[in-house]
Amino acid sequence: MSRTCEGRIVIITGAGGGLGAAHARVLASEGAKVVVNDINEPAAQAVVDEITAAGGEAVVNTSDITNYDDSLNAVKQAIDTFGDLHAVVNNAGINRDRMFASMTESDWDAIMAVHLKGHFCISSHAVHYWRGLSKEGRAVDARIINTSSGAGLQGSVGQSNYAAAKAGIAALTLTQAAELGRYGITVNGLVPVARTGMTTAVEAMAQRMAKPEDGSFDYFAPENVSSLVAWLVSPLSAHVTGRLFEAEGGKVAIADGWRSTEPVDKGERWDPAELTDAVAQLLAREVPAQKVFGS
């Protein structure tokens, strides 16, 4: 039976554990050659060892995704080791949760560096490579898969830094898709719910997401999300770009983004006091947004 990612060469960031490690294992089992990127070299090596023991192909890369120059080495390693690059899966992330009134500058900067800048660096170098191939007249069938979050789509109490970064990643995904299609690059986003070190840091969440002991379907297993990642990496998804996919258990959905509503149009400048009634009209006919997580 053919595998969906046969021969595809993929960089996965933050692949030493959690979702990234699951993505690496599943993609390798589907025939991909994987660059396992993580600053924790022993963790990345353990994932590579697991993949190679199962007959797959993978290598460790420890490039710092927040450092633009160093992140180039991940792209170079993929090309030097496997001869090409077909996809970047931006997965790496951290938490620095605090209520906004208690948040420090370092809390904010750390999240923006790993999540938002981290989504830029390796992708930028990969795009330069693919654009060069396209300009040479070579066929390109490339993928960028970004990782957003429900926190970024609807907000999350105690995570204003994380939510802002993930919202930025959602907007980045839409913009990249609009700009990069001309080079043969599709860009989609992932909104995952799964059992990882980040999601189970709170005891209540760890209990809720625990693996069932009775052998029934493991709803929160990260591999459930990785199946969608494998499809997005594969040639089967070449017609899909600019979407944010939600994945949880056996469920897959498309997140529907911001849309303009029917305006109230005076046809001339509003007096500020008049806007009370105008806004009341707008609010009366809106479709309410989903609630902010934790509210």
Q: Is 162 a catalytic residue?
A: yes
Q: Which of 148, 149, 156, 234 is catalytic?
A: 149
What's the token pair of residue 19? Answer: 């979702």
Question: Residue 50: CB partners within 8 Å, gap ≥ 6?
Answer: 25
Q: Which of 63, 117, 123, 162 is catalytic?
A: 162
Alpha helices in the chain (DSSP H): 18-29, 41-53, 68-82, 105-111, 118-135, 150-154, 160-180, 203-208, 223-233, 275-285
At 259 the three-state DSSP class reads coil
Query: Rounded to whole angstroms, how far apart are CA atoms 247 and 227?
Result: 9
Distances (CA, A) of 290 to 156, 200, 294: 11, 23, 12
52, 34, 46: which is closest to 233 by C-alpha? 34
What's the token pair of residue 186? Answer: 């599709």
Q: Which of 63, 166, 226, 237 is catalytic?
A: 166
Question: Residue 149: CB partners within 8 Å, gap ≥ 6?
Answer: 156, 162, 163, 166, 191, 192
Q: Is 68 a catalytic residue?
A: no
Q: Is 76 a catalytic residue?
A: no
**Could you give the residue numbers annotated as active site?**
149, 162, 166
